[in-house]
Structure 1
Amino acid sequence: MGLQKTDVEYTIEQKNILKLEKEYYTLLWEIFNSDEFQQDLIIVEKHIQDNYDFLKRNWNDSNKIKIPFERIMRHHVYKKLLQLDKIDSIFPSPISGDMGIITDDAVINIDAKTICAINNKGDIKWLQYLPNQNSFDHKNIDANDFYEGFSVSSNLPKYYKHKGKDLPVISYFLKLIYADNKSSFELFRYKDNDTLSFTCLPNGILSNLFDHELISGFKTYEYHKEKAGKYFIPKLLGAKETIEHWVHDHESFFTKVIEIHKDTTEWFHIPRKGKTKRKNILFDPIAKAIWYPVCRGTKAKGYHYFLEALNRPDTPRIDPEILRVRYDMNKDEWSGYESKIIPLTSN
């Protein structure tokens, strides 16, 4: 899944986009991998550490580095591209990432991500993005012979017309991992998870080169509320400690659900593959509704699993490792995913 094809003929249009994605990635990673960029991150880290109590009292957001990180990114990118006389204009649409720059041959879209390794440990390894940050045409998720699956939106245009030219819109993601335990702050520095990473998400014109498939799962899902109708009332499956041994098991899941809820007898079981924790879903062919097992509750009251009807998935997740090996217009290999650990002190 998600590995770029080299056994097909690239079109002239695709070759141009492949060329631009590689060229701008190389230029931008040179900026983000520089000592100057690294030094500014360390300066911000020290400022947050020295002023932690003040920021905790007066900044109404647990993410203290998000805005400074975006400022550092903008400063260094603008500085370098202005030196190279690369900037023609700004991208005027709000449908974009944190930066949108128009050059003479492309629109550069960059989104900054900041992940707390303590509060969102499960997000560290993934590239997470929103519809307004990409143009990739993804196939429907969980589609099979009896269910069309649910669609994945991409709202960023593949091209933008500027001064009479159709410019490809290229998407990049710069991610920073930090640790904030509500009493102290630091950039995340561990061998298995680098502090800073940079990823290129392919333009939608290249989607067929990846079989229209990059997503491994979703961070969040939106479920139908009870007020949507009696049909959507969640179905209790049981206490977490009692049923967890079968709720994610392909073999026994459907049988157990039918024993508990007879009205699901005519539903279809859709076992899911991949790295997602949601290994089993149910499809009601009459209502054309998807139902997921969901764990709800608190430590005080206990946790229980329910079947809940899915409204839509939200925040797709991609394993960036599948974008590490990319191929340019000549099918020469390059890296579309790089990462590094920021040392404690600058060189």
Structure 2
Amino acid sequence: MKTDRSIIAIPMGDAAGIGPEITIKALEKKEIYDVCKPVVIGDAAVLKKAIAVVGTNLKIHEIHSPAEGKYELGFVDVINLNNIDVDQLQYGQVSAQCGRGAYEYIQKAVEFAMNGEVKALATTPINKESLKAAGVPYIGHTEMLEALSGAHDPLTMFEVNGLRIFFLTRHLSLKDAIATMKKERVHDYLIRCDQALQRLGVRNRRLAVAGLNPHSGEGGLFGWEEVEEIKPGIEAAVKDGISAVGPVPADSVFFQALNGKYDAVLSLYHDQGHIAAKMTDFHRTISITNGLPFLRTSVDHGTAFDIAGKNIAESTSMEECIKVAAQYAPKFHS
């Protein structure tokens, strides 16, 4: 077992969802303890309930700070916030207490990350409706982390099997996304993508920009976005010293990056990059939030209320989430 393992904080997520369950399943695996020291920020009673659901012999080890952890296989080191009434807990149900709890776990994890007690966060799913019921003024992790850390406009990156994907636009209609594909935005994002890769320890960074139209527009035959906006944005970034090419047709660029031709691809819209990542390996696609003062990785699925508490939930994504955090934590430059 490595002696220089980084401490990784795992906020437990929504207690009524699969977060506690997949956390327990992940922490049954020796390979997790081989690469890091995982500390759960959550509620000990909820985790004990999850241990019963999973049917494992893991022992809860309550601590007050990450420095007190055992970090040994067989024990779950927990910062117990004791903020869930388990007698009122119902799996699969929207709940104000679970929404409030999920926020408080993240809040505490950020506090530990900001003062250097943990090296990274590996986050589990939270539920937007539960957050709303609790009066939490954020719709998701990214917004919370941005506010709690004082960061501005964090940048999302997916990673799966060595394929890295950034997103020029995310939750917009395709029509609105196309309207925002301006050369200034492409230029700015390529600079930020390069900076993000540098913080993760990637050297000699090579970026490719995916095309929007079939065959990247064929010089205007199938659309002018590449000619008028996307290519000029790439050229401006190259003048600033960024190693970037494109637009490369979207039907080949992700395959090329997966096979090592590029270190990352800038996807132009939400589904373009999501489809590429999830078709590569749905369960091992991990989200990394760049632009924060600390490293944060996340599973790329929701609370799965329909299967919570049934010992059905797959923990592969959670395991990968923790492993990726452990992989980048020693290289990450804040």
TM-score, normalised relative to structure 1: 0.22
Higher percent of residues as helix: 2
Higher percent of residues as strand: 1
The structure having more radius of gyration, on CA atoms, is: 1
